[in-house]
Structure 1
């Protein structure tokens, strides 16, 4: 639970702090160009897996690492991967809700599914 809260708070802080207009990078490489209309454009981490959030001794987010795919995209590009990563790294719980609640957003199943398919390099269904 502590990690889910730290990741949610850290991504929210990152997304709120970095100005999209000043970012020189396009979307993370795995996102591609053809995406649904964004919920909210942000400067995305691009690889928001749980191990890429550093935690302080008090359990808060201390920072992020592995920013090689940082770029402008819908915030769900990060949120979909961060929540999926919790299942890989902490399989004994359902931490998606904790992360999204801490971030301050309700789950968007369609966007989550879309960005997870892109991450896993799966074809996007027609429609």
Structure 2
């Protein structure tokens, strides 16, 4: 997932989903999906347009957004649908901006702390007892198999669970929102949300710091989250992420 390096053509469907809005592509992903921001008078919406048969279906994300909204700050769903080879999701804009926005990039230490604190708050707030979704290792391997991915045998045997939480499922730095003061304000892109060991999220979040801010931020993140690095679990869940 990245900020587009060049202008992106705005499809007719996106214009129809946000009529009259000033539209800009703000995110692209490796699966061919594009998210557009639409600004219209006092309202901001985000329109995600993606291939219909991708890794994370829009319907799955809608279910998770509706569930998580009772416990933490996530986007509100306006509409969603699918036709032909495309599917889409329209959500209302939230206060704050991505942790890799210009504000976040100007103050990386503050942004990294917000990511760590925000992930810990997510794990503490969302109740596993009420969560109908899972993101466990067996399920991730099965989902990868359905997409034609063979996961190495060594990754079928996970370390003993440290703490079961409701994982975000894609806790990379851009999916934490920060407010004007640099504090975490919410989370986006929750299509893989589900119960799993917290290290499944921690491993990905900490790994993404170097992608976005450069090396040397791990200690700041772990201090903000409030946990000492677990090298075994970090290695396993990073390898599983890369393999699936």
Report the TM-score, using the length of structure 1 for normalisation.
0.89
C-alpha distance in 1, partners of 2:231/2:111? 22
Give unmatched runs, 5+ long, in structure 1. Answer: 123-127
Q: Is the 8 A contact 1:40 1:75 kept in 2?
A: yes
Query: Deviations along 1:57-78, whole A, 9 cap, x unmatched?
Result: 1010010000000000111111
Q: Is the 8 A contact 1:100 1:106 kept in 2?
A: yes
Q: Is the 8 A contact 1:31 1:115 kept in 2?
A: no
C-alpha distance in 1, partners of 2:207/2:176? 14
Deviation for aligned residue 1:2: 1.0
Aligned residues: 121
Give unmatched runs, 5+ long, in structure 2. Answer: 1-108, 143-155
Query: As a proportion of its length, which structure holds more helix?
Result: 1
Larger RCO: 1 or 2 (CA < 8 Å, sep 6+): 1
Give the equivalent residue in structure 1 for 2:119. 11
The 3-state SS of whatever aligns with 1:120 is helix
Give the equivalent residue in structure 1 for 2:166. 43
C-alpha distance in 2, partners of 1:65/1:30? 20
C-alpha distance in 2, partners of 1:19/1:103? 18
Runs of 4+ in 1 over 6 A off after TM superposition: none
Q: Bigger radius of gyration, 1 or 2?
A: 2
Deviation for aligned residue 1:118: 0.3
Query: As a proportion of its length, which structure holds more strand?
Result: 2
Over the residues paired in the alignment, what is the CA RMSD in angstroms? 1.7
Give the equivalent residue in structure 1 for 2:135. 27
C-alpha distance in 1, partners of 2:174/2:124? 21
Deviation for aligned residue 1:41: 0.5
Give the equivalent residue in structure 2 for 1:66. 189
C-alpha distance in 2, partners of 1:30/1:113? 16
Report the TM-score, using the length of structure 2 for normalisation.
0.47
Deviation for aligned residue 1:98: 0.5
Cα distance change of structure 1 residues 3 and 31 upon mapping to structure 2, 3 Å threshold:
farther
Query: Deviations along 1:48-92, whole A, 9 cap, x unmatched?
Result: 00000001010100100000000001111111000100000001x
Give the equivalent residue in structure 2 for 1:80. 203
Q: Is the 8 A contact 1:54 1:63 kept in 2?
A: yes
The 3-state SS of whatever aligns with 1:7 is helix
